[in-house]
Amino acid sequence: MRYRKSLYLLPILAIILLATGKLLAQQNSVSRRFAVIAYHHGPGEIAAAYPVEKLTHIIYSFLHLDGNCLAAGTTDSISIVQLVGLKQRNPNLKIILSLGGWGGCPTCPDVFATETGRSEFSNSVKELMIKYNVDGIDLDWEYPALGSIPGYRHYPEDKQNFTMLIRSLRKALGDGYEVSFAAGGFAGYFIKSVEWTEVMPLVDRVNLMTYDYINGYSTKTGHHTPLYSTSQQKESTDYAVRFLDSLGVPLEKIVIGAAFYARTFSHVSHRNNGLYRNCKFEGFTGFRDLDEYFSRHDGFKVYWDSIAQAPYAYNPKERIFATFDDSRSVALKTNYALDKGLNGIMFWSLTGDNPQNGLIGIIYNTLNQNNGLK
CB contact at 8 A, 114 and 67: no
d(CA 30, CA 33): 5
d(CA 307, CA 232): 11
DSSP 8-class letter at 64: E
d(CA 321, CA 315): 6
DSSP 8-class letter at 191: H
Strands (DSSP E) found in 88-204 = 94-100, 136-140, 178-184
Where b means 16+ CB within 10 Å and e means fewer, 32-42 reads: eebbbbbbbbe
d(CA 345, CA 282): 27
- At 73, give phi and psi (nearest 5°): -75, -175
d(CA 304, CA 290): 16
CB contact at 8 A, 129 and 173: yes
- 146, 362, 337, 350: which is closest to 237 by C-alpha? 337
256 bridge partner residues:
345
Q: Which of 45, 120, 142, 252 is catalytic?
A: 142
142 flagged as catalytic: yes
DSSP 8-class letter at 177: S
Q: How far apart are the first and last CA of the chain?
A: 44
Q: 254-259 and 205-209: which strand pairing?
A: parallel
Q: Which residues are catalytic?
A: 142
